[in-house]
Every structure is written in structure tokens, then in C-alpha cells.
Chain A
Amino acid sequence: MNGLPMNGLPMNGLLVAQAGQPEGLAPLELPNVEYSAMAPHLILIGGALVLLVWVAMVRRRPPWAWAAFTVAVGLASLGASWLMWLDVGRNGPRTAVADAVVVDGYSIFFMVLVSVIVVLGALMGESFLKREDIRGPEFYVLMLLSSSGAMFMASANDLVITFLGLEILSIALYVLAGLDNRRMESREAAIKYFVLGAFSSAVFLYGVALVYGATGSTNLGEIVGYLQSSVAPANGVLLAGVALLLVGFGFKVAAVPFHTWTPDVYQGAPSPVTGFMAAGAKAAGFAGLLRVFFATFDTLKLDWQPIVWVLAVATLLVGSVLAIVQEDIKRVLAYSSISHAGFVLIGLQAANEKGLAGSLYYLLTYAFMVLGSFTVVTLVGRKGDARHDLDAYRGLSARRPALALAFTVLLLAQAGIPFTTGFLAKFYVISAAVEGRSYSLALIGMLSSVVAAFFYLRITVLMYMSTDEEEAEEARTEPLAIPRSMAVVLAVSVAFTVAFGLLPAPVIDFARDATLLI
């Protein structure tokens, strides 16, 4: 007992002692846990735990209490992230908890992003759950846990922590996908997502093992040190490990050819969950991917750049071309999210500072666009969350002009129309690609966005250009209510998309500063 470090918990010491540790051996050294380095993560986890306890203890409460609590938790973690941002700005980046977690601009950028997604996701979920009569705390608890996993992926400085974050994120998401278990599709989505997700996790883990075998460490900093000090680091085992890591991340971010789960899961999962998935899970996947490839395997970039080039081209083309033939709005948005992943991969392929900043900017702005879009999808889906055929949007502008306008703005922003953040995001990654001399990739990206524009326009055509008497009649008989919380999400996402499209400097600077503070 005497040899225990002072900062270790006595309970742990007891366990170690009981395990029969022989005298004279060096005791287990417990790392100093700086909780402040993980404040936003812990706020989210704590919030989830409090919710669980609250459900068990308190019987009488207003029906919106859980949502309000989740929003408060999200705002608290946003505030904590902001304080950390100021701190990092003053004192520079640092690692914590025995180098396993890193606090830098990059990780805080994702903390901010995830916190915002939590807030908007809770607002989306509230009115959805109410409409579907499945109000309960599960949605919020799972979303908070999943989000904390996303944050861990962003701040991990060790492949094991990345894996832990990936699993925390994913397992909660599997359950979320099957949340509306009265619907067959929702159950199917959960199973599909789980099987393929578990498979990809295994691949990822195998990749971690190979990298460990080749470099002798899972710590990103130590891997960098190894790569820089060894003469010919690119041996077969290491490259195989890196490739498997890419596959594992590729599943999470839905890069072609690892995208096959995306349309089915996006279609089957409850609409707000899909929105959360498209915004949060994709951002988290890229958070891990970008850090591991940009910062850690930077010296191997001549090996992985061509592979990422192929992935990016396939993702861009498959995503935008297959979206054209879809008849279900959620499948359209699923394929469109695949093609957006392709754009972020363009930023990765460029492998320069602009590419990293551009990717971050893309993920941030896309999160708002896609959350707003799925809000509209949730609303138009009506009770039962079933009306997702494109015909449901016919003549929407006559019934709900504001809703149609908001959706149009969000869709056109995704298509990359000027004076929206969507255009700037595309511009950012394209300029990174050009700076990296990947002209062909830049051109393929832009051409795929022309293809993509077709299906975004197709939806606006349905909303604006095909009104007739029959639909006007239908509009009278079947009103489309917009709950207040949904209106807030829509207003925030549209305002963000347009305002920072007109005055882009703050967000661009935020993304750039985040990459400088690594």
C-alpha cells in the first residue's frame, strides 16, 4: 500500500493489493487524470447519467423536461468547450491523462460542433417523440452518450482511445437507429447498422494491432516519433495496418465502397436520428480519420494519398449519381451525404493545411445544412414517419411557403450555390486540392456537384413548380403543423447557412485557427 501514487484512488490500490501483487515489484502507476481536459465529454456523460437517475426517481415532471435538460447539457458543454478554446489560445495545446487525450484547437473544434449538434438534435427529437407517442428519456441518454464518444474520437491521442470513442459512438447509435421499434424499417436499420458497424470496428481494431506491431505503440505521438526516427518506416505490416484503419474510418464516414449500409440505415432510422447520424457520426468519423492521417501518418502520405484519391473519386461519383435515381427523400439525402463525404476526402487527399481547415469547415457547415434538412424531412414525414417518397413534397410551397423556402435554402446550400456556407465549403476544399496540385480531383469534385445539383433541384421543382388543384385540396384536409422546437432548429440552421455565407470570415477563421492549434 505504501508504494501507491498519491493521486491514485485508494479503492484501486486495494484491488491491486488484493490481486496479490508480490512485494518488491514496481506498483501499477496510475496516470494523473486531468478532468478539465475532458470537461465537455464528462458533462455529456454526466448529463446522461443524471437523466437515467432522474427517470427512475422522479415521477411527476413536465413532458418536455428531458429535452430541456439535454439542451441545457449541450449548452453547458458548449460553454466548457469555449473556455477550453480560450485556454488553448493562451497556453497552447497540451496532452493529458498520460498522453492519451490531447487538448488542442482541433479537438475543441469538434467539441463545439458536437455540442451544437446535441442541442439541435434534442430540439428535433422532442417534437418527433411527442408526435410518434414514444416520449421517453432513451433518445436523449443515447444521444448524449453517442456524442461523448464523438468527442473522444476527436480528442484521442491514442488509437485505443480512438477505438473506445468509436465504440461509444456506434453502440449508442445502433440502439438509436432501432428506437422506433414498432416500425419494421427501424428494426432492420438497427440490425444492418449493427452488423456492418461491428464488422468495421473489428477491421479497425485489427488495423490498430498491426500498427502497434509495426511501430511498437498505439500512442499517436509515439508513432510519429517512430516514423520520424526510422529510416524506412513504410513496411508491409505498417501499411496494411494503415489501410485497415482507413477501411474502419471509411465505414463510419460512409466512403465508397464502404457505404452500402448508408441508404438503408438512413432510410430506416427515425428521421431525427438520421439527421444526428449524418451530422454527428460523420463528423466524428472524420475527426478520427483526419487526425490519424493528417497528423500521425503524415510521413506516409505518398502511400495513402493515391488510395484516398480513388476513394474520394468513387465516393463523389457514386454518391451523386445514385442519388438521382432515388425515389425516397431519405435515400436521396443518404446518397448526397455520401457525396459530401467525398468532398471532405478531397480535403484529406490534398494533405496540406488548407485541406485540413477546409475539411473542418465543410463538416461544420454541413452539420447545420443536414440537420435542417432532416428537420424538414421529419416534419413532412408526418405521424408515423412514413411519408418520405418524393411525391410528399409536391406543391409544398403552396401549403407551407416558409418551410419550402427553408428547405430550398438548405438544399441549394448543399448544391453549393453562392452566398451560402455550402459554396464556401466546396470552394475551401477545392482550393486545397488545387494547392496540392490535384487538379483532376478538384474537377471531378466540381463536376459531381453539377450532377448533385440535379437532384437537389428536382426536389425544388416538386416543391415550387408542380402545384395543382388536387394538392391544394389535400393541403386543406391534411395540415402540416410545425412545432416550435422544430422551427427553432430550422431557423438556426438556415440563419447559420446564409449569414455565414454572406459574412464568412468568423467561421473560416475558426476552422483555420483550429488547425493551427494542433
Chain B
Amino acid sequence: MAEYKRASLLADSPSGYCPGCMHSLATKLIAEVIDELGQQDNSLNVISVGCSALNILYWGGDFLSVAHGRAPAAATGIKRVNPERLVFAYQGDGDLAAIGLAEIMSAANRGENFTVIFANNQTYGMTGGQMAPTTLIGQKTTTTVYGRDPATTGYPLKMCELISTLEAPRFVARYALNSPKGVNDARKGIKKAFQIQLAGKGFTFVELLTNCPTNWKLSPLDTLDYMNTNTIPYFKPGVYKDTEVDAK
């Protein structure tokens, strides 16, 4: 039996994310994969804005904290001058799919050799639960109090689907963190993305469907059911692009 240890790049302090929030889980998964790959000293976390920015407190490894939505641009600058480091950006849905839409699409299209991990919980958690670009149709938020109406706010953006239309990306996949299988698959997906990056092959994108018990106003357990009933049918988990496989 392998010994279960705390991932070495998690800070010594306990996570201060809300109880049941999957940011803690996602952060732990990334740290565990970095341990598995022996990349503790070589990894660089590009920390975005939103609840994800709290990782400046919980991440024990090297990091660069950047402006809202701009993580793929900053990571581009990093990798172009230092191709050796394992660089990943951890971005939420507002950060990546609204204010940072140009940066993510352009970095993906250039095939920049870093990994973006996209935590999609369909809300602006940090600012108190406003509508996000991924908020589901009918979902109530503080700025869609009667539920998201596509007539005035359009439809939830499917980032894996969008990015997988581009030529350059090497690996594009979505996982849901509300089941043990989803968590295990996500861990494998993150590992694969990092391996592709370490081989210098190009852009990799891993979307993680996460939750927000606080702003969804559900208990942590109920968020798991909510995801099965509402989130997963719209944001279908799966591998959207994998040039490692496609090439065979």
C-alpha cells in the first residue's frame, strides 16, 4: 500500500476555502500530480483572480499572481523566456471565459507550451455569486435573480468545445469533481497534460467542473447531486481533443 501523504506543495496551513468547496480538492490534485512527476522544484503556478487567488495563501510552491483574466498572457511571457519550467495557470470561469476570453483563446491558438486548468463552478464566488459566463440557463444568481435568461444574457460558454476547434492545442478535456471516478480521471488528465507540456509538445487544457456551496446556497452534499442533474448534462465530461491518440 502506498502511504497517503499531504502533497508537498500545499502550504502548511489548512485551506480556508469554504467547507465543501472543490477549489481545495482541485488544488490538492494538482499538487499531488506535481509530486508524482517529481516537478516540485520546477513547477510554477500562475495564480489568477477570483477565489483562485486565495491560493497565494494555500500554495506552497513557486507562484506568480497575475491580473484578472490575464494568466495565459503572463504564462506566455514566462514560457517564452524560460521553456524548462512546468507552468500552469489555474483560472475560474469569470476569469477565463469572460474577462480573459481573448487571452485564453489566443494562447491556445498559438499553441503555447503550458497548461491551463479551468475551474468551472458557474459563478463569481469571490464577489458574492454573480452570473458567470458559464452560469446555466435558469440558474439564479445575484445578477439573475429570476434565473439566467438567454434572451438577454446568452448561453453558457462551453470552453472545451471552443478550444478543441483550434489546430494547435494538444490535449483538451473536461472532468467533473463530484464523484470518486471523476476525481481519479481528473488526476490522470492533469498528469497527462503536464507530461505533454514537459515533452514540449504544446498547449493543454483541463476543465474541472466544480461547485460553490456558498453561492449556490446548497449544502456541499447537495451540490454533488445538483452537478449530476444540471451541470454535467450541459457541460459533458470527456476528452475533446488528444493529439497523442489522434495521431495513432
Partners in one complex: no
What residues of chain A have their CB less than 8 Å away from a CB belonging to chain B? none
